[in-house]
Amino acid sequence: MRYRLKGILFWGILLLAAACVKEPKMTFEEVEQRSLAVWIEKYHPELKDNYQENGGYYVDILDYGVQDSVAVTGKDVWMWYNFTNRDFDGNVCETRDWLTAYQLGTYTDHTHYNPVFRFSGKESHTLMEGTYLATFNTLKVKNKESGVIEDVEVRYGTKMRLYMPSTVTTNTAGTTSDGGYEGQYTLDENRPIIVDMEVYGHVANPVEYEGERVDLFARINGGVCTDHKSKTQESAKLPRRTTRADEPSDEPVDTRPLEFFDGRWHQPIDTLEHLYVNYAYTPESVSFKFRNADDAHYPDEGRYNAGTIYSTTAGVSQLDDVDSRINKALVERFGKGITRDEVLTADSLKVNATAKVWYVGRFLDGYIFDTNIDEVKQIVFGKVENEGEALSFNTRKPLDNNYILAWNYALPTLRYGQWATILTVSTYAYGLKGQVGTHTSTTTSNNDAYYDTMNYYNYMNYMNSYYGYGYGGMYNNGYYGYDPYYYGYDYSANTDSTTTTVTTTSTEIQSYTPLIFQVFVEKGTDLPSSDK
């Protein structure tokens, strides 16, 4: 109620200011600035000296952050930060915090609640204009103890609340969000906004950062193999066996797959850095260490990805329990996969058939962002909205497949019936662009024809009670050529029906996000002769 009254007052001030303006007329931006100043004077007079000329907004520093850390002010950096956006009535229109979303009823298990990763630089940026101005420029802020106006640079740990006019937020298209980050309402255009913002970290070179993170993950989970880069060219030319053991063949048997079945991470193509495959992976025998304490860029990184499924309770991660149930379900459905002793007799994917691919896609903290396996959907999301189907992979022309490059490079090195994991940087996945999360809300609509009929029945009842049933009978007997009880609709077949849109959500994949895929491949249909 407090926020709502404040919001109502703000718009009252805005309307009053507009009504009192005399010639020459003020622009909307000028009226809004004046109204914002009056609103701050009434509700937050302690912030009136924190007015920022560049952008026309007010800032409240809630925490100055870690003072010995490097500031982001004035630098070209990629920055992690959390935020919650509210209108002046206190309604949340966007949030990155899973607990806030949970309290609002907008939380979904399909959403990866973690800090957003955006670019802030001198020439360009991908932040909301007002938040960019607050992080890139030096702020003028009154010290709450000394009363002196000081220069403040935003850095790791800085928390601030921004009161911003629509000119630096929503004056063109409003503020909307999707993929589980939306709040109670969207914010219309030309509306001011209150933003709570916290900086969690930043890097100058995201490509280098994610490469280091992928390598660290691989070292923690089995190690990285570099042996094959020094192999002789003659050894590399040995053909891989493509026939089963019960079929006669004069081809020399390539024993190198045995070397790759050692539990380490191997490059499917030597020239591609930070793309690895673990050929020895099986759901039964291998459990990766997600959210390792050493695998973090900023303190407590893991806790921001918690949500309700992957949260930690009393020091125990629910991720371990989720993984245990998933692994059991995968083995029950697909089996343990080929063993080391079966590698040489199993068919390579380089035969004249497609491959059917089943997969579980994860972020490096273990969060599952996608899968086509129904048993996994049931465990993670509690329901199966759409039945999963195997993806068809053309083994003869991998570059013709409409999949990420990591798959096109890595899958042809596998064998039918094999489990494997693919670890990749975004260069071979979704890159700088990433993927936008989507969310479809549940809607219910009543059958209008039913209510048309009921409304007409009510009308007939009133008419009959006033004129008598004989008058209504003239209509019923077809005096005017139609039966009003049907009114173009068969009431006998009518029910109070509804139309419901099922809620579906897919989480976003942010810029420069490394990924891991657990995959199982089966033999698919034979390829046409033209493809052989």
Say whether pLDDT at 330 is over 90. yes
Q: What is the biggest distance separating any 2 CA atoms in the chain, rounded to whole angstroms? A: 104
For tokens 């009056």, what's the residue? 38
Cα 501–chain centre separation? 21
Average confidence (pLDDT) over 101-124: 86
In sequence order, the β-bridge partners of residue 116 are 81
Q: Is the pLDDT of residue 11 over 60?
A: no
Within 10 A of 216 (CB to CB), how many other CB atoms are there?
16
Cα–Cα distance, 170 to 138 (Å, whole number): 23
Q: Which DSSP string do the residues of 475-523 spell out, in sequence order? A: HHTTTTSS-TTTTTS-GGG----EEEPPPEEE--B-TT--EEEEEEEEE
Read off the pLDDT of residues 177-189 as tens digits, 9 standing for 90 and up.
666 787 777 777 7
Residue 194 phi, psi dihedral angles, 5° rounding: -110, 125
pLDDT at position 177 is: 65
List domains and CATH numbers for the chain: 44-204 (3.10.50.40), 207-436+509-531 (3.10.50.40), 444-500 (no CATH)
Read off the pLDDT of residues 398-438 as tens digits, 9 standing for 90 and up: 777 889 999 999 999 999 999 999 999 999 999 888 887 76
Residue 19: per-residue pLDDT: 53
Percent of residues, the chain, with pLDDT higher than 70: 69
CA 326 to CA 308: how far, in whole Å?
17
Highest mean pLDDT among 99-103, 115-119, 317-321: 115-119
Write out pLDDT tens, residues 493-524.
444 455 555 556 678 898 999 999 999 999 88
pLDDT of 189 reads 76
Count Cβ neighbours within 10 Å for each residue of 405-437 and write b for 16 or more, e otherwise.
bbbbbbbbbbbbbbbbbbbbbbbbbbbeebbeb
What is the pTM (predicted TM-score) of this model?
0.78
Q: What is the pLDDT of residue 183?
A: 74
